């Protein structure tokens, strides 16, 4: 069934939520995986990160501030996301401005992570050169012994929120006459405008 403007929700987050749930229900392998594209002094770069929800109209994710993505986002506060769920033949593209989340919110999320993930975040200076895996494993073991109860939140680790300027929904068609609907935020009207793009 075609993706039609007349039947699409006026709120793009409602359509995103529907597609995200459909992908998970259909057995998509890690439906929360998304590509994050950034631009910085070193050029453009893209990598997979984990989507951690939508809050106040923004897509959330977490990372090391000293990583390539962290350096890029400090240099240019814009980024793009891509979700692709082959099992449901859907793609969602997002572009917008990025801001850091507050320390209390980051702390709350950090405490919800498994202990191993907490220790890895504290031990790893993401994107920096390291001589061997053994060095990383030794560092994790040292931190595990040093903090038997609670792992402290690293100073160089935290959350980001990407607030979209536009969100594009793509649905595959066998004849390659794919459906593409783009929601663009209009600050002047305080509403989303829906446009159809040629495939």
DSSP notation for 166-179: EEEEEE--TTS--E
**Taking a C-beta distance cutoff of 8 angstroms, is the pair 74, 65 a contact?**
yes
Of the candidates 117, 92, 81, which has an alpha carbon nearest to the alpha carbon of residue 21? 92
pTM of the entire predicted model: 0.93
pLDDT at 1 exceeding the cut of 80: no
- Residues 19, 183: Cα–Cα separation, whole Å: 15
In terms of Cα–Cα distance, which of 44, 162, 33, 40 is closest to 95?
162
Catalytic residues: 176
Q: Name the CATH architecture for the domain at 12-114+155-196.
A: Roll (2.30)
Q: What is the mean pLDDT of the chain?
A: 95
- Judged on CB neighbours under 10 Å (0-12, 13-18, 19+), 85 is buried
Q: What pLDDT is recorded for position 71?
A: 96
């Amino acid at each position: 069934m075609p993706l039609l403007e007349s039947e699409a929700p006026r709120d793009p987050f409602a359509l995103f939520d529907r597609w995200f749930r459909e992908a998970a229900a259909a057995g998509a392998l890690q439906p929360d995986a998304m590509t994050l594209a950034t631009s910085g002094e070193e050029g453009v770069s893209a990598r997979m990160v984990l989507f951690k929800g939508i809050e106040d109209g923004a897509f959330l994710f977490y990372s090391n501030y000293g990583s390539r993505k962290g350096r890029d986002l400090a240099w240019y506060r814009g980024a793009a996301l891509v979700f692709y769920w082959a099992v449901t033949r859907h793609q969602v593209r997002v572009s917008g401005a990025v801001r850091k989340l507050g320390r209390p919110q980051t702390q709350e999320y950090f405490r919800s992570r498994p202990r191993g993930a907490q220790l890895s975040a504290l031990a790893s200076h993401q994107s920096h050169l390291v001589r061997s895996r053994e060095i990383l494993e030794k560092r994790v073991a040292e931190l595990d012994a040093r903090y038997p109860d609670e792992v402290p939140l690293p100073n160089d680790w935290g959350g980001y929120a990407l607030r979209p300027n536009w969100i594009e929904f793509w649905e595959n068609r066998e004849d390659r006459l794919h459906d593409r609907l783009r929601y663009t935020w209009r600050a002047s009207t305080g509403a989303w405008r829906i446009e159809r793009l040629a495939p």
